[in-house]
Structure 1
Amino acid sequence: MIASPPSNPPTQPNSIWDTIMRFSPAAIALSLGLAMVSSAGLTKPELPEIDPRAIALGEQAAAAGAAGDYDGAIGLYETALTVDPAYKAAFVGLADIARVQGLDGKAIRLYREALQRDPNDQAALAGEGQALAERGALERAREDLARLRLLCQADCGAADRLSMAIEDAARTPVRSAEAVTPATTVEEAQRRAEEQP
């Protein structure tokens, strides 16, 4: 009879210390990766340096808008954007004018342009939220309000004004729904046709 060679039992860790040492490099690497990814969301994005000429044009535009010269303000804001397309305050100013003129859809688009350049711009968030509330998009307006409250941790008048705008919009019917006339049924249309001489 031939003796078989002794089989080696599978190696098992001698202690808990061996197990810790085996998995610690992977655990450390994973935790460092998660820490780097999570901290990236907390940092403020680096904003580009704005051309001083665009800022000067924006200040002139704001003064013209405050005086009621909306056409002049729009021209100055557009010129400022030609000088420096990264000038987000010009988008906010144009959006504010659009809201005053009752062009909420255009205002929302312009506020979003500003928010693409700086997602933490409080004026753009507040303005977009008010325009959304005026259009009846209350859930989106509440999302902007929640984000605005996170950004301005102290006393925030913009968040208070947005909250009041949302409450007012919730009490009043949506403007687009007021323009809809109820559809008549076939029977009503036939009856009206028979009644007419």
Structure 2
Amino acid sequence: MRFAPAAAALSLVFATVASVSSAGELEADPRAQVLIAQGEAALESGDTQGAIDAFEAALAVDPDYTPILLSLAEAARQDGLQGKAIRYYREALARNPDYFAALSGEGEALVEKGAVDKAQRNLARLESMCGQSCPETQALQARIAAGPPARFAVETAEDGSAAN
């Protein structure tokens, strides 16, 4: 009984520290934030390699900040590297399986790669988790409706396996 007040005080300290440390994961390290801003500016100006470099540097500074992976995936997609983008999306999903933006982005990259059936699975999962009105669901639905880029339609038509 002599230790009850001390134990209560100590548990309060641990609870406070735990809540502060978990809240800190929601924001990137300030140095990473600068690099992310540089990457976004480079991406907007069309410099995908500059954006990738900035995002990779940000990831090195703050490897636990998952949204950087989505930025890297977007830059890879714009650079025509859908396979690399899918890898980044899957890494984000490994950290948080319910990350709607990563699930939608992966689905869009799959469509761009020509894997519409796999993208449909992502869409079904998104619909079950966040519904039809979810922005991520709507974005993936629109991308699937647009279909894969023309280069995949031509390649499959030349093989004699085009499906329309």
Provide TM-score, normalisation by structure 1: 0.58
The offset of 1:164, in angstroms, is 2.1
Find the counterpart in structure 2 of residue 144 from structure 1: 122
Runs of 5+ consecutive residues of structure 1 not aligned to the other structure: 1-45, 183-197
After superposition, the Cα gap between the structure-2 partners of 1:52 and 1:147, relative to the gap in structure 1 and judged at 3 Å, is farther
Alignment of 1:111 with 2:111, yes or no, is no
Q: 1:59 aligns with which of 37, 45, 56?
A: 37
Per the alignment, residue 103 of structure 2 pairs with 125
Deviates more, 1:95-104 or 1:142-151: 142-151
Percent identity among equivalent residues?
A: 44
Structure having greater relative contact order (Cα 8 Å, sep ≥ 6): 2
SS at match of 1:106: helix
Q: Which residue of 2 aligns with 1:164?
A: 142
| Alignment CA distance shift 1:117-1:99 (3 Å) | same
Q: Letter of the aligned partner of 2:42 in structure 1? A: A
Counting only pairs closer than 5 Å after superposition, residues 90-101 of structure 1 correspond to structure 2 as: 90-101=68-79
What letter corresponds to residue 82 of structure 1 in structure 2?
A
| Contact 2:112 2:148 survives alignment (8 Å) | no
User: Structure 1 pair 170/91, CA: closer, same or farther in 2 (3 Å)?
Assistant: closer
Contact map agreement 2:76 2:84 (CA 8 A) in 1: yes
Q: Shift of the alpha carbon at 1:162?
A: 1.0
Q: Distance in 1 between matches of 2:157 and 2:123?
A: 28
Provide the C-alpha distance between the structure 1 equivalents of 2:32 and 2:71, rounded to a whole number of angstroms.
13
Query: Is the counterpart of residue 85 in structure 1 residue 60 in structure 2?
Result: no
Contact between 1:47 and 1:118, CA under 8 Å: does it hold in 2? no
Q: CA deviation at 1:156?
A: 2.2
Out of 124, 133, 143, the position equivalent to 1:155 is 133
Render the CA deviation track for 1:10-40: whole Å, top value 9, x for unaligned: xxxxxxxxxxxxxxxxxxxxxxxxxxxxxxx
Structure holding more helix per residue: 2
| Residues paired across the two proteins, number | 137
- Quick one: distance in 1 between partners of 2:157 and 2:77? 20
* Structure 1 residue 136: Cα displacement: 2.3
Read off the aligned partner of 2:80 and give its amino acid letter: G
The alpha carbon displacement at 1:80 in A equals: 0.7
Following superposition, the deviation at residue 58 of structure 1 comes to 1.6
2-side partners of 1:129 and 1:146: how far apart?
10
Structure 2 gap ranges (5+) = 1-21
Distance 1:81 1:178 in 2: 38
Which structure's CA Rg is the greater one? 1
The Cα offsets for residues 112-160 of structure 1, whole Å up to 9 and x where unpaired, read as 1121122222221111001111222222211211222344347323311
